[in-house]
């Protein structure tokens, strides 16, 4: 590495990653560093492709270099991403996925599957490798919401191949039965079905596995939390007190099981259901408030017709809310995973 490249690298060590509160050089986010003429060129490797902070990094790197390092008048940054791995998954589960994010709720009808689906699709649209597991075994809604209906997965080498929609790999009991046939299972059978969705499905390499849980604090969420190393859980609630009260019980359950609560989403906010309940819950439990999604007919229509709002109308208020939610969740998950992660295997190359 030349003397001026060393100076550039030293100057970049003053740029702090806002979520991790460490400098980007110590975090090994800078690579392929070179200086050509008066231009410093390098790649910043983000912890998620859904990172909303590219402009912040661009401005901070320019501020650190231009006028601060002699001879540097321009900065060229290329962007890459490498999602850190929650090392607990490899310790307990032999599957190639970097994180497992559960989406739960205290009661039914709050839009948990809508949040799960739009979150998964938004992360995939940002460039992440995403799986969506419909763990609401008895009442699967994901096949309808993703437009896959009741197709059947193929089997290869004794493993089911997940169906795909909108860039997301998807598995649901809805693919294994007919709409008019009820799924009747006791607790042990639910546990077995969820385990098979992890072990008997060829998911391939995933950055994020989104697990759409059934509502409440019953067998399925309890089995998942006790049997699999969840990176964290997102709690979905409506704004009104009765929904918030039920969501509080879910928060308490996951806290008791030592599952990190990524934060709270307030869904269906607006004139009909009011607003603010989810934010109050987050404040009460000292949790992150992940965002508020407005009640909109277009969200319901998108779910009914298999076109999630982040695909069908991304510029709408609801579409933007889900986009922001995906970015916020990705940032929060990066922090959680790096607390239990393998070191990011990147080298600074001069």
Which residues lie below 8 Å from residue 80, measured CB to CB, with a gap of 6+? 43, 44, 45, 46
State residue 222's pLDDT score.
80
Q: How far apart are CA 251 and CA 258, in angstroms?
A: 11
State residue 190's pLDDT score.
65
Residue 40 bridge partners (DSSP): 35, 75
Alpha-carbon distances of 37 from 25, 61, 74, rounded to whole Å? 22, 18, 9
pLDDT in tens, the chain (350 residues): 899 999 999 999 999 998 888 999 999 999 999 999 999 999 999 999 998 889 999 999 999 999 999 999 999 999 999 998 887 776 666 778 999 999 999 888 899 999 999 999 999 999 999 999 998 877 889 999 999 987 889 999 999 999 999 999 999 988 887 666 655 555 556 667 788 888 899 999 999 999 999 888 777 778 787 778 899 999 999 999 999 999 999 999 999 999 999 999 999 998 887 889 999 999 999 999 999 999 999 999 999 999 999 999 999 999 999 999 999 999 999 888 776 554 443 333 32
Q: How far apart are CA 1 and CA 109, in angstroms?
A: 58
Please name the residue that has the structure tokens 């030349």. 2
Please name the residue that has the structure tokens 């998950």. 333
Q: 159, 165, 154: which is closest to 201 by C-alpha?
A: 159
Q: Is 283 helix (H, G, I), strand (E, B) or coil?
A: helix
Both structure tokens of 28:
């090994």
Q: How far apart are CA 38 and CA 49, in angstroms?
A: 29
State residue 183's pLDDT score.
59
Q: How far apart are CA 59 and CA 62, in angstroms?
A: 5
Give the burial class of 78: count Cβ atoms within 10 A of its Cβ; 0-12 exposed, 13-18 middle, 19 or more buried: exposed
- The domains found in the chain, sorted by start residue, are 3-81 (3.30.300.130), 87-339 (3.40.50.300)
Both structure tokens of 11:
């100057």
State residue 349's pLDDT score.
31
Residue 341 bridge partners (DSSP): 86
Q: How far apart are CA 268 and CA 119, in angstroms?
A: 15
Alpha-carbon distances of 313 from 210, 296, 318, rounded to whole Å? 22, 12, 8
């Amino acid at each position: 590495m030349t003397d001026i490249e060393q100076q550039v690298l030293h100057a970049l060590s003053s740029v702090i990653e806002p979520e991790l509160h460490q400098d980007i050089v110590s975090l090994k986010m800078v690579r392929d560093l070179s200086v050509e003429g008066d231009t410093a060129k390098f790649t910043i490797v983000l912890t998620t492709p859904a990172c909303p902070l590219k402009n912040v990094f661009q401005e901070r790197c320019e501020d650190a270099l231009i006028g601060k390092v002699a001879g540097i008048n321009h900065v060229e940054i290329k962007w890459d991403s490498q999602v850190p791995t929650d090392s607990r998954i490899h310790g307990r589960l032999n599957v190639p996925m970097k994180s497992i994010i559960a989406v739960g709720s205290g009661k039914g009808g709050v839009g948990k599957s809508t949040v799960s689906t739009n979150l998964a699709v938004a992360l995939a649209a940002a460039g992440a490798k995403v799986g969506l597991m419909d763990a609401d075994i008895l009442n699967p809604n994901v096949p309808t919401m993703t437009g896959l209906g009741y197709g059947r997965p193929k089997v290869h080498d004794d493993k089911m191949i997940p169906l795909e929609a909108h860039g997301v790999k998807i598995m649901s009991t809805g693919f294994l039965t007919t709409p008019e046939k009820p799924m009747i299972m006791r607790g042990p059978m639910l546990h077995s079905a969820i385990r098979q969705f992890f072990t008997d499905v060829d998911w391939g390499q995933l950055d994020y596995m989104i697990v759409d849980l059934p509502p409440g604090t019953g067998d399925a969420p309890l089995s998942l939390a006790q049997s699999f190393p969840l990176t964290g859980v997102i709690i979905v609630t409506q704004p009104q007190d009765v929904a918030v009260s039920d969501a509080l019980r879910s928060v308490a359950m996951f806290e008791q099981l030592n599952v990190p609560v990524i934060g709270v989403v307030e869904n269906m906010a607006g004139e009909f259901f009011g607003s603010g309940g989810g934010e109050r819950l987050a404040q009460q439990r000292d949790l992150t408030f992940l965002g508020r999604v407005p009640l909109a007919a277009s969200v319901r229509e998108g779910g009914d017709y298999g076109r999630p709002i982040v695909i069908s109308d991304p510029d709408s208020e609801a579409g933007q809310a889900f986009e922001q939610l995906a970015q916020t969740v990705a940032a929060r998950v990066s922090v959680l995973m790096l607390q239990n992660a393998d070191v990011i295997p990147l080298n600074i190359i001069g």
